[in-house]
């Protein structure tokens, strides 16, 4: 599957506009990976629009990769952002010496280091846009001090602290009840290195309300058709996210799909309403978990446009400005 494979699911006129946006590939050797248990990590990054005034780091979730979320990247590029979309370890084209030793904490550290490297290289502001599990990943790195201008998230799932979030991401209710026990016994040793299809634990068929989109993701061996280690899953499920009442990072913009049948919007909204900093909450009309339906795509573009206007010209307002929840 290439990035063009997923662009076909964008509605018009976004699909035609996306065809004119060049996506280039590059590689970044994560310096900290040299001394980690998983060994060297060469991160594949997809990018576009290098002359744009704002940059966005587009983060996929579990079972995703840069090509899968590139429809969102095309919308971002269309709204004036230079898009950087990395393949996080275990997914996409990123090369890892020992996949069985990758943990969720590696994702947090890698994204933080990538933001630091990009900030040193280029002074333009960086917005983090996280899709699915990437939303909480973006929030997490921002809460830990990463130099970002804003966090945009389609979901905010506190898997360690919210039983409803765990039930939502699990394929069956029985599996949701088993996850805490599994996580407590599978963090180290041989069991942690065991790898299995991600669709065994997550309801990947709900990634979209369009069966054709869901099937394309499931058939993708670099994404939802790939495997995940038990140790990574255990680390993800038990990871304690920064307390939202103590959050001192940049603004958070939640753009949860309103018709999401995988992760109900109220789970994300409940977490977002606890965030101490400015938080804007929007629902994307008609969109499933992977938001590629109208009119939600137009609404997403409007929210991104308003955010960009305010970041480029602080204090400015527009008809598309976000609702100020906090």
Domain presence at residue 226: yes
The structure tokens 């899953």 sit at 233
Domain presence at residue 153: yes
The structure tokens 């990463």 sit at 146
Domain presence at residue 218: yes
| Phi-psi label, residue 123: left if phi above 0, alpha if psi -120 to 50, beta otherwise | alpha
pLDDT in tens, 110-123: 999 999 999 999 99
Domain presence at residue 326: no
- According to the model, what pLDDT value does residue 179 have? 60
Q: What percent of the chain has pLDDT over 70?
A: 89
The model's confidence at residue 19, banded by pLDDT at 50, 70 and 90, is confident
Nearest alpha carbon to residue 191 among 154, 257, 235: 235
**Which comes out higher in pLDDT, residue 321 or 307?**
307
Phi, psi of 176 (to 5 degrees): -60, -40
pLDDT in tens, 257-275: 999 999 999 999 999 999 9
Q: What is the bridge-based pairing of β-strands 150-153 and 126-130?
A: parallel
Domain presence at residue 324: no
- According to the model, what pLDDT value does residue 226 have? 87
Domain presence at residue 215: yes
- pLDDT of 3 strictly over 80: no
Domain count, the chain: 1
Domain presence at residue 95: yes
Q: Are 105 and 48 in contact (CB under 8 A)?
A: no
Dihedral sign, Cα of residue 221, residue 222, residue 224, residue 227: positive
Domain presence at residue 317: no
| Three-state SS annotation for 161-186 | CCHHHHHHHCCCHHHHHHHHHHHHHC
pLDDT in tens, 190-211: 567 778 788 888 888 899 999 9
- According to the model, what pLDDT value does residue 276 have? 97
- pLDDT of 321 strictly over 60: no
Nearest alpha carbon to residue 305 among 79, 18, 126: 79
- According to the model, what pLDDT value does residue 317 have? 43
Q: Which domain holds residue 220?
A: 3-312
Tokens of 203: 């309801």
Nearest alpha carbon to residue 226 among 113, 62, 105: 62
pLDDT in tens, 141-193: 999 999 999 999 999 999 999 999 988 887 776 566 666 566 555 555 556 77
Q: Are 290 and 207 in contact (CB under 8 A)?
A: yes
When pLDDT is averaged across residues 85-89 and rounded to a whole number, the result is: 96
When pLDDT is averaged across residues 26-40 and rounded to a whole number, the result is: 88
CATH classification of the domain holding 110: 3.40.50.1820
- According to the model, what pLDDT value does residue 122 have? 92
Mean pLDDT of the chain: 88
Cα 177 to Cα 79: distance, rounded to the nearest angstrom: 42
- According to the model, what pLDDT value does residue 323 have? 39
Cβ neighbours of residue 125 closer than 8 Å, sequence gap 6 or more? 54, 55, 148, 149, 311
Phi, psi of 311 (to 5 degrees): -75, -35
pLDDT in tens, 221-263: 988 888 888 888 888 988 999 999 999 999 999 999 999 999 9
């Amino acid at each position: 599957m290439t990035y063009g494979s997923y662009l076909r699911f964008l509605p018009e006129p976004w699909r035609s506009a996306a065809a004119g946006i060049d996506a280039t590939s590059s590689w970044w050797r994560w310096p900290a990976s040299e001394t980690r248990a998983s060994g060297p990590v060469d991160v594949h990054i997809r990018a576009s629009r290098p002359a744009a005034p704002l940059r966005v780091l587009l983060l996929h979730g579990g079972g995703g990769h840069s090509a899968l979320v590139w429809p969102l990247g095309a919308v971002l590029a269309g709204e004036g952002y230079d898009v950087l979309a990395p393949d996080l370890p275990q997914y996409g084209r990123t090369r890892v010496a020992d996949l069985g030793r990758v943990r969720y904490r590696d994702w947090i550290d890698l994204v933080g280091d990538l933001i630091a490297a990009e900030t040193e290289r280029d002074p333009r502001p960086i917005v983090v846009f996280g899709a699915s599990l990437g939303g909480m990943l973006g929030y997490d790195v921002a809460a830990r001090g990463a130099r970002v201008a804003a966090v945009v998230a389609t979901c905010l799932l506190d898997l360690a602290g919210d039983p409803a979030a765990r039930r939502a991401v699990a394929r069956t209710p029985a599996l949701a009840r088993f996850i805490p026990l599994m996580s407590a016994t599978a963090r180290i040793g041989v069991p942690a290195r065991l790898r299995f299809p991600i669709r065994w634990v997550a309801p990947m068929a709900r990634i979209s309300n369009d069966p054709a989109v869901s099937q394309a993701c499931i058939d993708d061996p670099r994404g939802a058709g790939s495997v995940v280690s038990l140790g990574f899953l255990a680390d993800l499920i038990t990871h304690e996210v920064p307390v939202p009442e103590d959050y001192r990072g940049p603004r958070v913009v939640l753009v949860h799909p309103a018709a999401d049948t995988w992760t109900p919007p109220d789970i994300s909204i409940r977490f977002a309403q606890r965030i101490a900093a400015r938080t804007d909450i929007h629902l994307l009309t008609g969109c499933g978990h992977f938001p590629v339906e109208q009119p939600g795509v137009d609404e997403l573009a409007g929210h991104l446009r308003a955010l960009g206007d305010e970041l480029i010209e602080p204090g400015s307002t527009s008809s598309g400005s976000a609702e100020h929840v906090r």
